[in-house]
Amino acid sequence: MSFVKEKIMQYNKKSISDIEVKGKKILLRCDFNIPLDPTGAITDDGRIISALPTIRYLLDQGAAVIACSHLGRPKGERSDEFSLKVVGERLTELLGKPVKMARDVIGEDARRLAAELKWGEIMLLENLRFHAEEEENDPEFARQLASLADIFVEDAFGSVHRAHASIEGVSHYLPAVAGFLLEKELYHIGKALADPKTPFVAILGGSKVSDKLGVIVNLLDKADTLLLGGGMAYTFIKARGGSIGSSICDDDRLQYARDVIEKAQKLGVRLVLPSDSLIAAETTENAEPQVVSSYDIPDGMMGIDIGPKAANEFVSIIKDAGTVIWNGPMGMFELPKFSNGSRMVAMAMTDPRIVSIVGGGDSAAAVRQFGLEGRVTHVSTGGGATLEFLEGKVLPGIDCLLDA
Ligand code: ADP
Ligand code: MG
């Protein structure tokens, strides 16, 4: 790990390999915000698997691990739908040792389990977002969380861009260091950022349009080419005067989209939208997709994947890139009929000459679904965090850790 550490360009932070963890209770912030299907079953356990090296190391060293995470958006209230129990069960299988599941976060059950936890044992707190104080970064909530442990280990790379109580707040009460996953992420993304092989191509897609629009303007300073696909594209296509039918769109940001298009032109950044789209009236396996111009989508129809022409255009741009960062699927890849665009982009990124980084929970799931995980340079566990890191923003969950 020291090899990895030396290479972190932006940050030089202490990690778990720099401190004594034996005989210590560790509050370990993980990112177990995994996708669940409507029955509540895990559809992709990549983020749990990514947390294993740190957990195994801590347990082997003789620490006691109090793991915690958020899951979904339960809005500050307890609900079975967002319980971390399903994560505890999967983690138990993966570790081959029982993970004790607390029924609350800072309540009586969590405190009792934490007090009784033995060295080499692990427990999991309930969903941090059952408390509104988590996202508010409430100091008292952070203090109570911290009081369960002796040391804080930050390993939730996917959340380090958020100044929440379990990410930043606890560092005011406990010595705070990085876990192995965080180190690995900083190494790969830091390297791509500090010394990018050019051309630098950023690909954005997915459905969290409003969340991601903000980063686009900042990426313009870094990228040579920006490819927009998935649900992200239609706000831009509408802003350019296209008809997008019932495709997803952020109508409040049309002017913003026009500004981005103008800024890209000024900076000489190539901004590419999908020329054609795969459209359908319904988003199910029974849909009968049609290929049309993305600027001419009939009423009642929705753009669900980039079209074949757009996919080929994206592929040829990726082939000429030095570095490619991809965040957000090109279509509803979960349905085979609408997975072509994402598959073609993912395939093109496996060219060994390209430094290829995939970020975002669903994008990472897509790459895994296509069986291409081992063939890209790095599959990041972060979405928003990856993008904000790329923008060069200060990430509160990293900034608060002890300096090496
Ligand atoms: P990530 O998790 O990689 O950051 P997002 O969460 O932003 O990505 O978006 C992922 C979701 O976007 C997927 O579930 C996919 O089905 C959906 N999606 C992709 N393209 C479209 C589209 N054109 N319209 C609606 N949803 C889309
Ligand atoms: Mg997502």
Distance 171 CA to ligand 1 centre (A): 33
Strands 323-327 vs 200-204: parallel, antiparallel or unpaired: parallel
What does the alpha-carbon distance between residue 189 and residue 191 come to, in Å, rounded to a whole number?
A: 5
Which atom of ligand 1 approaches the CA of 383 most closely?
4
Give the whole-number percent of the chain exceeding pLDDT 90.
Answer: 82
Of 277, 301, 332, 343, the one to substitute when testing ligand 1's pocket (max ligand atoms within 8 A of C-beta) is 332
Q: Do domains 3-183 and 196-391 have the same CATH topology?
A: yes
pLDDT tens string 136-160: 999 999 999 999 999 999 999 999 9
Ligand 1 pocket, CB under 6 A: 205-208, 230-231, 248, 303-304, 327-329, 331-332, 334, 360-363, 383
CB atoms within 10 A of CB 60: 11
**CATH H-level superfamily of 196-391:** Phosphoglycerate kinase, N-terminal domain (3.40.50.1260)
pLDDT tens string 101-115: 999 999 999 999 999
Distance 360 CA to ligand 2 centre (A): 6
Domain boundaries, the chain: 3-183, 196-391
Query: How is domain 3-183 classified at the CATH fold level?
Result: Rossmann fold (3.40.50)
Which atom of ligand 1 approaches the CA of 365 most closely?
3
| pLDDT score at 10 | 57
- Predicted TM-score (pTM) of the model is 0.84
The more confidently predicted of residues 10 and 28 is 28
DSSP class per residue in 14-34: -BGGGS--TT-EEEEE-----
What does the alpha-carbon distance between residue 223 and residue 202 come to, in Å, rounded to a whole number?
A: 6
What does the alpha-carbon distance between residue 344 and residue 213 come to, in Å, rounded to a whole number?
A: 24
